[in-house]
């Protein structure tokens, strides 16, 4: 079956002065899926989003979004996408209802009032619809901001760290909204620093490091790259070396010893290793075992082991803003309400 891509970029490059923010970004996002864009601060995630939403022009490379060329058909791209940045962009002096009606009219949506009411109901904001946005809680403002990006039913929605600073309950509501959008057929490109968020929402993940996509795959596929973590707790610190030898042989990874905690652990490169086998081998070697575990990898493990944790940005120190002047932060974002075709 042929895959249709909502986002397809090849060799995207972007510089801010002497800093090379994107160094040949190749990215594919299949239609109707959620793709998580992960990476260290300054890795180029937000610069990539700003290019793919036409807020910046690439220095080199090409991309198609919703079937249209990013540069030659920028207006068509803008008509088919929505963007929600890291910070709420709604007008605090207007009510929630007024904000959504304003965005609907700017986007020439027929029956702006009805569309605004529909979105207020969908995002659980109907009871607070006539309060000034400035009086809403942080979570309610983020939901209002997300609703504003959906007034014209975009084919592709870009979410740049949409749950930053939200409490767990508000974050869960945003997650539910993203799942509902996917169910409706909307393609979502999500950048986030919450790895649990990507694990729960993303069909595929693109791990960005130093301006390139370093690894791609489903959360399960990426976890398989780093392997499970085997750990043994021994009764006697003198047995650590013996236990380390067993873990070295079974896992293929380099054991890490902690004499104070009397533990030894290693990342396993053997997908067939099981906890019963680990315990049997340690027992057979006469290791006085207190506890043993074989922990499946998390996306935190993937992030830490597959990136160097150091990104480039417009100042070269993680504090640029990707706005083309070399004086801001690549991982902060002005919002999409600029994208009025």
For 17-46, what is the mean pLDDT?
94
pLDDT of residue 337: 40
What pLDDT does 304 receive?
Answer: 82
pTM for this structure? 0.79
Q: Does 283 have pLDDT greater than 60?
A: yes
- The domains of the chain, with CATH numbers, are 5-223+304-332 (3.40.50.300), 228-296 (3.30.70.100)
Q: Compute the C-alpha angle 57/59/60, nearest 5°.
A: 115
Question: Token digits for 319?
Answer: 């504090």
Of all residues in the chain, what percent are helix, strand and coil, respectively (each to 5)? 35, 25, 40
Mean pLDDT computed over every residue of the chain: 88
Q: Is the pLDDT of residue 178 over 60?
A: yes
Distance, in Å, from the CA atom of 121 to the CA atom of 117, rounded to the nearest integer, reads 6
Predicted confidence at residue 309, as pLDDT, reads 54
Distance between CA atoms of residues 213 and 39, nearest Å: 9
Q: How many angstroms separate the Cα of 86 from the Cα of each of 158, 166, 238, 245?
A: 11, 11, 51, 48
Confidence of residue 89 (pLDDT cuts 50, 70, 90): confident
Average pLDDT over residues 185-210: 94
Confidence of residue 300 (pLDDT cuts 50, 70, 90): confident
Average pLDDT over residues 285-293: 96
173 pLDDT band, cuts 50/70/90, is confident
Looking at residue 224, what is its pLDDT? Answer: 84
3-state secondary structure of 234: strand
Compute the average pLDDT of residues 289-313. 80
């Amino acid at each position: 079956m042929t895959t249709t891509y909502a986002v397809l970029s090849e060799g995207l490059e972007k510089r801010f002065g002497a800093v090379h923010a994107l160094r040949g970004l190749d990215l594919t996002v299949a239609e109707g899926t959620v793709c998580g864009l992960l990476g260290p601060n300054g890795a180029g995630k937000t610069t990539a989003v700003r290019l793919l939403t036409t807020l910046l022009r690439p220095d080199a490379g090409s991309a198609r979004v919703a079937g249209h060329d990013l540069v030659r058909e920028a207006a068509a791209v803008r008509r088919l996408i929505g963007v929600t940045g890291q910070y709420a962009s709604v007008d605090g002096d207007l009510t929630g209802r007024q904000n959504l009606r304003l965005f609907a009219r700017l986007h020439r949506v027929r029956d702006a009032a009805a569309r605004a009411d529909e979105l207020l109901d969908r995002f659980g904001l109907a009871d607070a619809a006539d309060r000034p946005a400035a009086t809403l809680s942080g979570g309610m403002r983020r939901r209002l901001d997300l609703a504003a990006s959906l007034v014209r039913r975009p084919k592709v929605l870009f979410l740049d760290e949409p749950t930053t600073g939200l409490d767990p309950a508000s974050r869960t509501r945003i997650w539910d909204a993203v799942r509902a959008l996917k169910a409706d057929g909307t393609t979502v490109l999500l950048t986030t620093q919450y790895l649990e968020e990507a694990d729960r929402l993303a069909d595929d993940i693109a791990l960005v490091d130093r301006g390139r996509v370093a690894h791609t795959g489903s959360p399960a596929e990426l976890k398989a790259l780093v392997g499970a973590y085997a750990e043994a707790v021994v009764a006697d610190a003198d047995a650590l070396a013996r236990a380390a030898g067993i873990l070295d042989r079974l896992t293929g990874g380099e054991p890490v010893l902690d004499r104070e905690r009397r533990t030894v652990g290693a990342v396993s490169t053997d997908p067939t290793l099981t906890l019963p086998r680990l315990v049997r081998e340690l027992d057979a070697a006469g290791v006085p075992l207190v506890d043993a575990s074989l922990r499946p990898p998390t996306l935190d493990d993937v992030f830490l082991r597959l990136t160097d944790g150091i990104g480039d940005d417009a100042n070269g120190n993680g504090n640029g803003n990707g706005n083309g002047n070399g004086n801001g932060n690549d991982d902060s974002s002005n919002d999409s309400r600029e994208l009025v075709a």
